[in-house]
Amino acid sequence: MSKKIDDLPESDTEIDSRELQVLNTILNVKSEDPQEYSRLRFVFYATAIFFLLSLPFTDRIIELATPSATSWLILLAIKVIIFFMLYYIVVYSALSE
């Protein structure tokens, strides 16, 4: 049903620039530009904030700080608000550099 790569037809002709551009578009090949690393850095920041908010001691700190965080849904809403506030602060402080 599926073919192996070795079974696919081969060609010895040179690839022109148009075919190479189409191939790069299909394979989503990007050059290494600084914006790509900037986006990756923001993903890392979001992951770190999410990780910190998902730790069990964070739940306890939030429950001690806000008495209304008795329900898991309220706790989740508070964590979402904290996540967005921290992410906003981190991203805009990183962009100002």
Tell me, yes or no, whether 45 lies in a domain.
yes
> Tokens 């900037």 — which residue?
38
Tell me, yes or no, whether 8 lies in a domain.
no
Q: Rounded CA gap, 10 and 19, in Å? A: 15
Domain of 83? 33-97
In the chain, the number of structural domains is 1
Q: What angle do CA 57, 58, 60 make, to 5 degrees?
A: 65
Q: What is the pLDDT of residues 22-45, one digit of tens each?
A: 777 777 755 566 666 777 888 898
Q: Rounded CA gap, 89 and 95, in Å? A: 10
Tell me, yes or no, whether 27 lies in a domain.
no
Tell me, yes or no, whether 1 lies in a domain.
no
pTM of the complete model: 0.59
Residues 59/75, Cβ–Cβ less than 8 Å: yes
Residues 78/66, Cβ–Cβ less than 8 Å: yes
Tell me, yes or no, whether 28 lies in a domain.
no
Tell me, yes or no, whether 50 lies in a domain.
yes
Tell me, yes or no, whether 24 lies in a domain.
no
Q: What is the pLDDT of residues 28-87, one digit of tens each?
A: 755 566 666 777 888 898 999 999 999 999 989 998 988 887 888 999 999 999 999 999
Taking phi over 0 as left and psi of -120 to 50 as alpha, with beta for the rest, 28 belongs to left
Tell me, yes or no, whether 58 lies in a domain.
yes
